Amino acid sequence: MSKKVKSYIEKEIHTRLDKIEAIAVVNPRGINAIQNNQMRRRLLGQKLRMTVVKNTLAARATAGGKLKGFEALLTGPSAVIYGEGVGISAIARALLAEKKTLEATKGNLEFRGAFFDGEIYEGEKGMESASKLPTREEAIAGIVGAILGPGRKLGAVLKGPGATLGGIVKAIEAKAPKGEEAPATEAAPA
């Protein structure tokens, strides 16, 4: 391959992976062409893309970006799975599901690992641990819940005595015969 062609491929990989924060690497050798096409379609339905890359070009294309350090996963034939705005847990969950689907059709998907936020999750165990990480939406919901928790407790503490007093007043009102007013207490002469 000429330097000019390599340069074009490197630029293409750079434009595809420039805005990506999470990526997974698999060995595409264990699956045939039909399984590969079916897997790519299912991944595309989840807003994920699979691209077979030349390791040295992928390493050079991502050297200065957010994916710096993921080149440690690039050994042997490599395919990268990524999606813009898709977190590592969603990628890992999708790939674990694909592995089960492929095993049913006698295909074999070998995980090299996943890369997110400077951390490498190696092999199948790393992929399983990455799949258990919360998605972006789950993490935001957890943070919002943690922020609102103390305020909710404070509101309940402040509302509690007033609600009890309101309940007592309602009970007295319900017991009083209709049309009569509750007897007023007179102040003692001073």
Provide the CATH number for the domain around residue 74: 3.30.70.1730
CB atoms near residue 121 (< 10 Å): 22
Q: What is the reported pTM? A: 0.68
Specify whether 127 is located in the same domain as 55. yes
| pLDDT reported for residue 86 | 81
Burial of 54 (0-12, 13-18, 19+ CB in 10 A): middle
Specify whether 83 is located in the same domain as 163. no
Could you give the number of structural domains in the chain? 2
Residues of the chain with pLDDT under 50: none
Specify whether 76 is located in the same domain as 128. yes
Measured between alpha carbons, how far is 46 from 42 in angstroms, rounded to an integer?
7
| pLDDT reported for residue 42 | 92
Specify whether 31 is located in the same domain as 112. yes
Specify whether 105 is located in the same domain as 152. no
| pLDDT reported for residue 19 | 83
Specify whether 105 is located in the same domain as 125. yes
Query: How many H helices and E strands in the chain?
Result: 6, 5
Specify whether 145 is located in the same domain as 86. no
Measured between alpha carbons, how far is 190 from 186 in angstroms, rounded to an integer?
12
3-state SS class at 81 = strand
3-state SS class at 169 = helix
Q: Provide the token pair at 111.
A: 């995980």
Q: Among 82, 81, 72, which Cα is nearest to 20's? A: 82
| pLDDT reported for residue 41 | 92
